Amino acid sequence: MPCGADMGGTVSGDTVTAVAEAEPARRRIESRLTAGDRVYRTLATAGAGATLVLIVLIGLFLLIKAMPALREAGWSFITTKEWSPDAEKPRFGVAAMMFGTLISATVAMAVTFPVSVSTAVFINEYAPRRLRRPLTSLIDLMAAIPSLIFAMWGLFVLVPFLLPLEQWAVDRFGWLPFMKAAAIGASLSNAGLVVSLMTIPIATSIIREVLSQVPRHECEGALALGATRWGMIRTVVLPFGRGGIIGGTMLGLGRALGETLAATLVLSLTFEIKPRVLENGGITVASALAVQFKDAQKMGLSALMAAGLALFVVTFAINLLAAFVVSRSRSGAGVDA
Partner 1 sequence: MNNTDPASTRPLPPGPPLPPEQPGTAHTATGQPGPAAPGGGTLTATQVSAWFGSNKVLEGVDLDMDAGQVTALIGPSGCGKSTFLRILNRMHELVPTASLAGSVLLDGEDIYGRTLRVTQVRRHIGMVFQKPNPFPAMSIADNVAAGLKLTGTKAANRSELIEESLRRAGLWNEVKGRLRDAAGGLSGGQQQRLCIARSLTVRPDVLLMDEPCSALDPTSTRRIEETIDELRGQVTIVIVTHNMQQAQRVSQRCAFFLAAENEPGRIVESGPTTTIFESPKDSRTSDYVHGRFG
Which residues lie near partner 1 (CB under 8 A)? 129, 215, 217-218, 220-228, 231-232, 235-236, 239, 330-337
**Amino acid at residue number 251:** L
3-state secondary structure of 165: helix
User: Long-range contacts of range 135-143, CB-CB < 8 Å, 24 or more positions apart?
Assistant: 136/208, 139/201, 139/204, 139/205, 139/208, 140/201, 140/205, 142/200, 142/201, 143/201, 143/202, 143/204, 143/205
Least separation, in Å, of the C-beta of 327 and partner 1? Answer: 15
Q: Tell me whether residue 227 or residue 290 sits nearer to partner 1 (CB atom).
A: 227
Give the sign of the dihedral formed by CA 78, CA 59, CA 56, CA 60: negative
Least separation, in Å, of the C-beta of 206 and partner 1? Answer: 21
Least separation, in Å, of the C-beta of 326 and partner 1? Answer: 14
Least separation, in Å, of the C-beta of 198 and partner 1? Answer: 33
Least separation, in Å, of the C-beta of 133 and partner 1? Answer: 13
Beta bridge partners of 187: 280
CA distance 70 to 93: 9
Q: Tell me whether residue 207 or residue 237 sits nearer to partner 1 (CB atom).
A: 237
CA distance 203 to 252: 6
User: Long-range contacts of range 168-177, CB-CB < 8 Å, 24 or more positions apart?
Assistant: 169/278, 170/278, 177/275, 177/276
Q: Tell me whether residue 258 or residue 332 sits nearer to partner 1 (CB atom).
A: 332
Q: Tell me whether residue 72 or residue 125 sits nearer to partner 1 (CB atom).
A: 125
CA distance 243 to 328: 9
Q: Tell me whether residue 165 or residue 224 sits nearer to partner 1 (CB atom).
A: 224
Least separation, in Å, of the C-beta of 242 and partner 1? Answer: 10
Beta-strand relationship, 83-84 and 91-92: antiparallel
Q: Tell me whether residue 241 or residue 308 sits nearer to partner 1 (CB atom).
A: 241
